[in-house]
Structure 1
Amino acid sequence: MSTTVIEGAALNAADRCDRCGAQAYVRVTLAAGGELLFCAHHGKLHADKLKQVALQIHDETERLG
């Protein structure tokens, strides 16, 4: 299965990481349904596993640079 990185609705300060509550910069739409939000740290930490289960990944971590 391949992962598609897409441009979707922009994430904002109200979007929070599902792991730690920090501002989310990564939105993962799961192939099984639903979505997860991650801060840049947790998005990177779990990237390999997320690519295996994701239908789409919306990554805005470049905004941090």
Structure 2
Amino acid sequence: MTTALAPSSALSAADRCDRCGAQAYVRVTLTSGGELLFCAHHGREHSDKLRNIAVTIHDETGRLEPAPVAVSTEDER
């Protein structure tokens, strides 16, 4: 017998970190069936311990890329 996990849905701006309330970018499904959400900071801070108790870790921190920096030119001045 095999068990398949349903794919995790994408995290949205409505998903909040269980630790601080910031936008969640990490979803951890626990062996007990529970779920925890973390911002990127707290996901990194607790990653070692979470790996020990998680069935799955859905990490969307890759969405946090720096915005391009606007560069002014001489013509714009």
What TM-score does the superposition give when structure 2 sets the normalisation length?
0.74
- Bigger Rg, which one: 2
Q: Which runs of 5+ in 2 are unaligned?
A: 1-6, 66-77
Amino acid at match of 1:59: D
> What percentage of residue pairs aligned between the two structures are identical?
73
Structure 1 moving runs of 4+ over 4 Å: none
If asked which structure has higher relative contact order (CA below 8 Å, sep 6+), I would say 1
Q: CA RMSD in A?
A: 0.9
Unaligned runs of at least 5 residues, structure 1:
1-6
Aligned length: 59
Name the one with the larger strand percent. 1
Taking the aligned partners of 2:13 and 2:48, their CA distance within structure 1 comes to 25
Secondary structure, in 3 states, of the residue corresponding to 2:56? strand
